[in-house]
Structure 1
Amino acid sequence: MKEAKIMAKLSKEERKALIEKVEQDRAKNPQPASKVSGFATIDADAKKLESEN
Structure 2
Amino acid sequence: MGREITKYSLSGDATLNGMCAMVFAEVYRKDDSWKFRAPGEPHQTDSFVEILKKYM
- For Structure 1 versus Structure 2, the TM-score category normalised by the shorter chain is under 0.3
Higher strand proportion: 2
Length-normalised TM-score, structure 1: 0.21
The structure number with the bigger radius of gyration is 1
Length-normalised TM-score, structure 2: 0.21
Q: Which has the higher contact order (CA 8 A, sep 6+)?
A: 2
Higher helix proportion: 1
